[in-house]
Structure 1
């Protein structure tokens, strides 16, 4: 059985830095004893990237950096970036905001849409599904389910990502070990939280995100701004954890905005970007020597190298008079010209003095010869794309979805909404009978409209809210899209069908509808059928459009369905009468009428005069009598809307 040892720091430790390094060493020692990490993930990977370039179409015809007119409609985000990180090394990407750090690390993680020029290799191979399983990627924003606890988050990730040759108990124990290794024991049973829900701290959230990637014992770990928004002590602990992972034989690459000097000296190599172009790439200890050799010396001796590098990347040179300001229009042009010359000087100096050294480092070992992305045939891999079966993914995702969304479907506010409308409608139609046929028909139409609009408006938010999580997990190869989709559909059944059943039960008997158990049960079945069809339409709209567009369009659709439902307008003009055939509310209303009344049933249409119910004007023009056609129409909509939603999810660019 596996064990992990937790070492406590003595009060007399020399400094925070040394104690943090001790923690990193301890974590590294413990990490090496985790035999649950499967062998495939322990294979070392040397990451090499050479002459990377990436451009996008600019939405305006102006240069995004200078604000000057530009006839070129493209914007260069990366240009000529090269580097290498080997097992045991930690590489940092420095640069100001907008310099291309996130673009570069996304390209290295294989999550950048479009075409990336240049060569990227992982242990001499291009990016494959096998490499993806050995690579961990932690985005800048922590995308986690807010209502799951820390142990639940890591346990579900372990069940999805670890291979089938491990038992469920071994996978859960793996999550427990990660919690211990990352110092999350104190918050083990705390929910993750969100900006509106109190949960774990920012540093703990970041460690949970890192822990999800550590579960598969990645040989290559990529992190985008792991210290963003954290205090210096928490940032130091996280970087010490990453340093320990690197010492365990992993290649670690991270972007970082403005590290302290303590953080800076943890890195083995650094790549400095300015507007997508490299101005330095190499070992951290040679930075000051290099820039001094090209005439850029800090103004004082004790300076944080990271601050000095960011000043240079921001075109703040110690050789420039910072108080100098342009006085007129011509001076502004001169100032801009000076800006361009300094930037070009740093870039050209890199190309002249460093670029060949970086490429020599890339080709240092013959066994690491790179294979370019372009002009090569893909490497065939006999590895399976998925580590777990479809059925296992379905079960885990279903259970996770039920635990995460139980607060949403059965929230007090939602229960209050449904029950208040149910009781109010029951009181308004209190004990109606056939003598009030118009009112009874109105109640049936209210059923179809309310349980058409309510589930539609709720379902619209499903995929827009879960899209960031879906993109992150699917891009990591955690599960198939089909297993996620069917688990989501199955999880909605108990969540979405309980409240309509209670609603109909209360209102049906209070409203005085036919006191027949069979009719009551058929009414519930029809309403639930309508709920599923309406929900499918909402899912399709949410998957195809953004939230604002989907909400607006759903309001228009429900207004059209309301008018074409057959209750308000009986004689619809022929040129627009086709609208009722695409309205699920129309078919639901017809079915409710057909099960509520029989063909020979009569009502008192005058004093001593009885008329057939189906001759009532509000029913006669519905065209009742084709009950199975109505069921078939709803069935086509039920399947069709969900197929559209699935196809729309398939079209998402999972990068």
Structure 2
């Protein structure tokens, strides 16, 4: 039963009166404004309010069209005339074959469209047209970009320090972390490392739940997920989907694109939005999809997975497969009562789209969108991360330092190689002396050392790429900014670079017996440190632009060759 209340909220900026509508979605026994005590505490911290009213999220989209500009200058419609809604307490699944527009719709609703995509239509959050802010809406990507050397508890704890207010005590933060771990069913693996190339860690399903846990830490009211079950086995996919449904039952609005759900997973959906070629095939209760397809002339066979049947009806690739098999004459088609055997899939898609446009489901969806849009609900704006810049920089530096110290391939392996090679160079130029006749040998030795040490910095590129993936995910979700990341990465790497250059430089300097005196020695190792730092910064910059390992290493090596050319020109410049 719906009821409307009106409250006056006082904010630091001034006084404003907002209409708050607390409704209960039809067909579910979940109050939309229902918050767990921990969620209520966190939202009170965010809004600086003594009373927390309805902070639920009602999202509507009407006549949504997305046009993409191609590289040749032409335009293409990716989505066309979509209308729908998502209410608190419900789990909405976006389904369709590959290329149908699921991810584009998700990006459009979450304000994450690419620069070459243009959106038309209306998207409203609680009846207001506004861009979704960090913290209000969370987005879980398809890839689990996590730091492999940290445990599950450490990963979530560092995320809490990065985003929760400084004034919030650590005991409350720890309570929030532990409740999130329990909510996502991660108790058994809380102290297990995520895992990387040399550390065996948690399973794929557990990684996916960790990714979700990181985004629900701030208790967002609107949660987007891009194919959360892809790459998981049936049991893990069911567990993840069951967890998402439980999150929705806490009063959240959950929207996820799902590629190929099992029958058990399909039964967990509240609403289904089925797409084909960017157009709406069906939107409504997932349980009513059977009736709609039957009315359109494509009933689901008794022993077939309903999601497989629906996707079979709207995937035009099946026409190509059938034509190929018939052309090969290796498959004999037997008579069947299946309507899809009598017409092409393209014709079936046209029938389904036309049936939906004139159906009661389309009419009910538009009526519901108009009803929700008229109610001006709460302005949900949590402002993103609540932590100060100093806290973010400190936390990132500490996390990065721990990651570097635990990852054997980050700096430790390079340190061993540096020492071994500088010992070899030292034996070649052993006791070369400082006489006039040894000037050329000393120059060659310095060129070997500086050239080798700087070129070995390329070895850290794969680790830089992984760091950039984590940074891009966290930055897009509003965890912190670019400045904090750059400062923390520089500070955390400094001890390792100093250790590498001083050990390698010391071994070489005293084996070769270069100029005696601490000033000469210090100048040598500081020049070595400066050279390594420049190349490390170069490789990090390349990693932010070129995420491909091979191309990044080639580009980095090419730029360093130009560095060497410049230094050789300076050495041999005419006097």
- Residues 124, 154 of structure 1: alpha-carbon distance in 2 compared, 3 angstrom cutoff: same
1:343 pairs with one of 342, 345, 349: 349
1:48 pairs with one of 60, 67, 76: 60
The alignment status of 1:500 with 2:505, answered yes or no, reads no
Q: Distance in 1 between matches of 2:362 and 2:166?
A: 45
Deviation at 1:246, TM superposition (A): 1.2
Contact 1:409/1:496, CA 8 A, preserved across alignment: no
The alignment status of 1:362 with 2:361, answered yes or no, reads no
The alignment status of 1:111 with 2:112, answered yes or no, reads yes
Unaligned runs of 5+ in 1: 1-24, 61-71, 329-334, 371-378, 567-576, 581-585, 587-617, 624-655
- Residues 56, 437 of structure 1: alpha-carbon distance in 2 compared, 3 angstrom cutoff: same
2:559 pairs with one of 530, 538, 557: 557
Show the counterpart of 1:401: 400
Task: Give me the CA root mean square deviation.
Answer: 3.4
Deviation at 1:511, TM superposition (A): 0.3
Structure with higher Rg: it is 1
Q: Distance in 1 between matches of 2:324 and 2:460?
A: 58
Show the counterpart of 1:438: 440
State the SS of the aligned residue for 1:53: strand
- Residues 443, 346 of structure 1: alpha-carbon distance in 2 compared, 3 angstrom cutoff: same
State the SS of the aligned residue for 2:42: coil
Contact 2:162/2:385, CA 8 A, preserved across alignment: no
Residues 250-291 of structure 1: CA deviation (Å, up to 9, x unaligned): 111112122233322222211001122110001122212222
Show the counterpart of 2:9: none
Show the counterpart of 1:158: 160
Q: 1:214-363 to 2 correspondence within 5 Å?
A: 214-298=216-300, 300-314=301-315, 325=326, 338-353=344-359, 354-363=361-370
Q: Distance in 2 between matches of 1:564 and 1:261?
A: 64
Q: Distance in 1 between matches of 2:180 and 2:542?
A: 39
Deviation at 1:384, TM superposition (A): 4.5
Deviation at 1:95, TM superposition (A): 1.3
Deviation at 1:59, TM superposition (A): 5.7
The number of aligned residues is 517
State the SS of the aligned residue for 2:309: helix
Q: 1:479-628 to 2 correspondence within 5 Å?
A: 479-545=480-546, 547=548, 548-566=550-568, 580=570
Q: Distance in 1 between matches of 2:354 and 2:198?
A: 49
Q: Distance in 1 between matches of 2:184 and 2:34?
A: 13
State the SS of the aligned residue for 1:537: helix
Deviation at 1:560, TM superposition (A): 3.6
Q: Distance in 1 between matches of 2:118 and 2:233?
A: 37
State the SS of the aligned residue for 2:567: coil
Deviation at 1:489, TM superposition (A): 1.5
1:181 pairs with one of 176, 180, 183: 183
1:37 pairs with one of 32, 35, 42: 42
Q: Distance in 2 between matches of 1:49 and 1:30?
A: 25
- Residues 133, 336 of structure 1: alpha-carbon distance in 2 compared, 3 angstrom cutoff: farther
- Residues 541, 442 of structure 1: alpha-carbon distance in 2 compared, 3 angstrom cutoff: same
Q: Distance in 2 between matches of 1:366 and 1:534?
A: 54
Q: Distance in 1 between matches of 2:263 and 2:256?
A: 16
Q: Distance in 2 between matches of 1:556 and 1:459?
A: 16
Contact 1:78/1:100, CA 8 A, preserved across alignment: yes
1:142 pairs with one of 120, 140, 144: 144
Deviation at 1:508, TM superposition (A): 0.5
Deviation at 1:497, TM superposition (A): 2.1
Residues 128-152 of structure 1: CA deviation (Å, up to 9, x unaligned): 46x3312121111211111111011
State the SS of the aligned residue for 2:541: helix
- Residues 243, 521 of structure 1: alpha-carbon distance in 2 compared, 3 angstrom cutoff: same
State the SS of the aligned residue for 1:513: coil
Show the counterpart of 2:418: 418
**TM-score normalised to the size of structure 1?**
0.72
Q: Distance in 1 between matches of 2:266 and 2:559?
A: 57
State the SS of the aligned residue for 1:443: helix
Deviation at 1:447, TM superposition (A): 3.2
Show the counterpart of 2:22: none
State the SS of the aligned residue for 1:80: strand
Contact 1:147/1:191, CA 8 A, preserved across alignment: yes
Show the counterpart of 2:390: 391
State the SS of the aligned residue for 1:132: coil
Q: 1:633-652 to 2 correspondence within 5 Å?
A: none
Residues 506-531 of structure 1: CA deviation (Å, up to 9, x unaligned): 11011011221221122222221222
Show the counterpart of 1:651: none
Deviation at 1:208, TM superposition (A): 0.7
- Residues 125, 165 of structure 1: alpha-carbon distance in 2 compared, 3 angstrom cutoff: farther
Contact 1:32/1:248, CA 8 A, preserved across alignment: no
Residues 109-132 of structure 1: CA deviation (Å, up to 9, x unaligned): 222213222222221233446x33
Residues 304-326 of structure 1: CA deviation (Å, up to 9, x unaligned): 33222112112599xxx999957
Contact 1:36/1:170, CA 8 A, preserved across alignment: no
Deviation at 1:341, TM superposition (A): 3.0
Q: Distance in 1 between matches of 2:342 and 2:120?
A: 30
Q: Distance in 1 between matches of 2:64 and 2:503?
A: 60
Q: Distance in 1 between matches of 2:35 and 2:381?
A: 32
Q: Distance in 2 between matches of 1:209 and 1:382?
A: 22
- Residues 87, 553 of structure 1: alpha-carbon distance in 2 compared, 3 angstrom cutoff: closer
**TM-score normalised to the size of structure 2?**
0.81
Show the counterpart of 2:24: none
Q: Which moved more, 1:459-468 or 1:304-313?
A: 459-468
The alignment status of 1:427 with 2:433, answered yes or no, reads no
Contact 1:110/1:127, CA 8 A, preserved across alignment: no
State the SS of the aligned residue for 1:246: helix
Deviation at 1:230, TM superposition (A): 2.2
Q: Distance in 1 between matches of 2:428 and 2:514?
A: 13
Show the counterpart of 2:14: none
Q: Distance in 2 between matches of 1:195 and 1:511?
A: 38
Residues 27-46 of structure 1: CA deviation (Å, up to 9, x unaligned): x9995456653335971000
Q: Distance in 1 between matches of 2:510 and 2:213?
A: 53
